[in-house]
């Protein structure tokens, strides 16, 4: 198998890193930027500091502070047109995953001059996105080093992934100051998503020694710092979390994501389930499912998940991996089941069928007709083990409260 590892984003990490944003913008030849954020983050002191550093470097600033819980196609298309109109030559995102996905979408449509939904799928646009600087304010999505943007098409109730090598951010600034104001519950959600990225990259059928090294190190760092970063004011743990979530995304950007993300997608699109709940609840299940066909990977992953493996059979270690993830969830206040509101039992089969096109289909998923799906239809997914619709249905059922 030929493998590929590509990560062109410059990563500037550590306390004080945000102070370099003006210099970074100048290095990237930005003269007028759109700073993308949300109504909460845009009122934080570090947001004002970032704007001041840009101004000090002589970079003119326009603002869009209206991002919501998802990156919306309508926001992206409107702001992309504004960027072209106002001669803006760079995008700076200060926020969590939805802010970064919104900004990345804006940077894509600004140079490609077509609606976001037509840019979804893999490599569906021809021109390089505008230069981007990402400042994540949650340790989680990893969008700051990812070529992908996940957007919501509000009219069609679809979550769509788009991107390619032309939409990598140019720089990511990981400064733990941005995590200081996060309430515990808010911090836990993206952190679980990041853990999912590392584990799913490791369990991918297209993983390579390069992605495995980064994925395992990410899981180990994330698992070892998550409790302290969420349950205390440990700044070192938070800094570790930021770096770990960035590493996890470098791994999954190259090895791709698995069943957790493929199965979560219809729940997010059709049932409005927030992404971290979908992938997080599924994670212990998809970990055990895929480890069953990856015997050589059981012990390394178990060690990264802080499982004591001595005296256990392989099957017991796999079960202990799932249990270790659940124990972490209990400690940080994250659920390990879907409530009947989040996933009604009567919609389980429908969701399993809607998962068939997978995470990477883009708008091609729109034309997908579930009438042709049988129990044996395989979910499109790069995970090591093939999963049928019937198996997905059973997995959803085992996630119900």
CB closer to Fe ion out of 57 and 271: 271
CB closer to Fe ion out of 103 and 276: 276
Tell me the window of 27-35, 120-128, 161-169, 191-199 that interacts with Fe ion (CB under 5 A).
191-199
In this structure, are residues 158 and 189 in contact, taking their beta carbons and an 8 Å threshold? no
**Least distance between Fe ion and beta carbon 29 (Å):** 31
Does 240 interact with Fe ion (rule: CB under 5 A)? no
Counting residues that bind Fe ion (by CB under 5 A) gives 1
Instruction: Tell me the Ramachandran region of residue 14: left when phi exceeds 0, alpha when psi lies from -120 to 50, beta otherwise.
Output: left
**Least distance between Fe ion and beta carbon 53 (Å):** 30
CB closer to Fe ion out of 79 and 222: 222
CB closer to Fe ion out of 9 and 20: 9
Among residues 112, 122, 189, 190, the alpha carbon closest in space to that of 160 is found at: 122
**Least distance between Fe ion and beta carbon 304 (Å):** 18
**Least distance between Fe ion and beta carbon 2 (Å):** 26
CB closer to Fe ion out of 51 and 194: 194
The mark string for 150-189 relative to Fe ion (x by CB under 5 A, - otherwise) is ----------------------------------------
**Least distance between Fe ion and beta carbon 279 (Å):** 5
Closest residue to Fe ion, based on beta-carbon distance: 193
CB closer to Fe ion out of 30 and 267: 267
Tell me the window of 175-183, 190-198, 286-294, 361-369 that interacts with Fe ion (CB under 5 A).
190-198
**Least distance between Fe ion and beta carbon 186 (Å):** 16
In 65-186, beta strands by DSSP E: 71-72, 90-95, 121-122, 132-136, 148-153, 158-163, 171-174
**Least distance between Fe ion and beta carbon 256 (Å):** 12
* Cα dihedral: 289, 293, 297, 302 (round 10): 30
CB closer to Fe ion out of 153 and 193: 193
Judged by CB under 5 A, the residue of 70, 89, 170, 193 near Fe ion is 193
Instruction: Tell me the Ramachandran region of residue 80: left when phi exceeds 0, alpha when psi lies from -120 to 50, beta otherwise.
Output: alpha
Neighbouring CB atoms inside 10 A of 370's CB total 15
Spatial separation of the C-alpha atoms in residues 101 and 97, rounded to whole Å: 6
Helix (H, G, I), strand (E, B) or coil at 308: coil
Among residues 114, 173, 158, 186, the alpha carbon closest in space to that of 272 is found at: 158
In this structure, are residues 399 and 282 in contact, taking their beta carbons and an 8 Å threshold? yes
Tell me the window of 68-76, 81-89, 193-201, 376-384 that interacts with Fe ion (CB under 5 A).
193-201
The residues facing 93 across adjacent strands are 36, 134
CB closer to Fe ion out of 22 and 280: 280
CB closer to Fe ion out of 19 and 274: 274
Spatial separation of the C-alpha atoms in residues 352 and 359, rounded to whole Å: 13
**Least distance between Fe ion and beta carbon 228 (Å):** 22
**Least distance between Fe ion and beta carbon 69 (Å):** 14
* Sequence-ordered list of residues with C-beta below 8 angstroms from that of 127, at least 6 positions apart, any chain: 111, 112, 166
Spatial separation of the C-alpha atoms in residues 329 and 10, rounded to whole Å: 32
Write out the H or E segment, with its range, that includes residue 105.
helix 97-112
CB closer to Fe ion out of 42 and 342: 342
Among residues 395, 201, 141, 393, the alpha carbon closest in space to that of 282 is found at: 395
**Least distance between Fe ion and beta carbon 197 (Å):** 6
**Six-digit token pair at 283?**
């994670």
Q: Can you give the binding site for Fe ion, defined by CB under 5 A?
A: 193
């Amino acid at each position: 198998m030929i493998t590929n590892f590509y990560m062109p984003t410059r990563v500037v990490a550590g306390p004080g890193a945000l102070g370099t944003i003006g210099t970074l913008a100048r290095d990237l030849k930005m003269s007028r930027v759109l700073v993308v954020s949300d109504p909460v983050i845009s009122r934080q002191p570090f947001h004002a500091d970032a704007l001041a550093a840009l101004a000090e470097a002589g970079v003119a600033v326009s603002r869009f502070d209206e991002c919501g819980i998802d990156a919306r196609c309508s926001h992206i298309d409107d702001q992309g047109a504004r960027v072209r109109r106002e001669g803006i030559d760079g995008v700076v995102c200060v926020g969590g995953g939805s802010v970064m996905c919104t900004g990345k979408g804006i940077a894509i449509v600004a140079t490609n001059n077509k609606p976001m939904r037509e840019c979804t799928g893999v490599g569906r646009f021809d021109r390089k996105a505008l230069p981007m600087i990402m400042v994540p304010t949650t340790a989680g999505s990893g969008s700051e080093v990812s070529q992908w943007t996940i957007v919501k098409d509000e009219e069609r109730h679809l979550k769509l992934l788009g991107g390619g090598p032309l939409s990598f951010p140019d720089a990511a600034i990981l400064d733990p100051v941005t995590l200081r104001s996060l309430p515990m519950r808010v911090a836990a959600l993206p952190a679980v998503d990041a853990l999912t990225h590392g584990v799913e990259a490791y369990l991918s059928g297209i993983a390579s020694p390069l992605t495995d090294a980064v994925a395992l190190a990410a899981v180990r760092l994330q698992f070892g710092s998550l409790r302290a970063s969420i349950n205390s004011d440990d700044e070192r743990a938070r800094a570790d979390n930021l770096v770990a979530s960035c590493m996890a995304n470098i791994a999954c950007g190259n090895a791709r994501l698995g069943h957790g993300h493929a199965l979560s997608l219809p729940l997010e699109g059709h049932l409005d389930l927030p992404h971290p709940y979908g992938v997080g609840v599924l994670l212990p299940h998809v970990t055990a499912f895929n480890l069953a066909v990856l015997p050589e990977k059981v012990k390394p992953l178990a060690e990264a998940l802080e499982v004591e493996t001595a005296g256990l059979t392989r099957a017991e270690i796999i079960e202990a991996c799932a249990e270790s993830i659940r124990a972490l969830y209990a400690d940080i206040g994250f659920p390990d089941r879907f409530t009947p509101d989040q996933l009604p039992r009567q919609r389980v089969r429908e969701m399993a069928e809607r998962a068939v096109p997978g995470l990477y289909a883009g708008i091609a998923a729109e034309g997908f007709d579930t009438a042709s799906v049988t129990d044996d239809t395989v979910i499109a997914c790069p995970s090591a083990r093939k999963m049928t619709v019937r198996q997905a249905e059973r997995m959803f059922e085992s996630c119900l409260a």
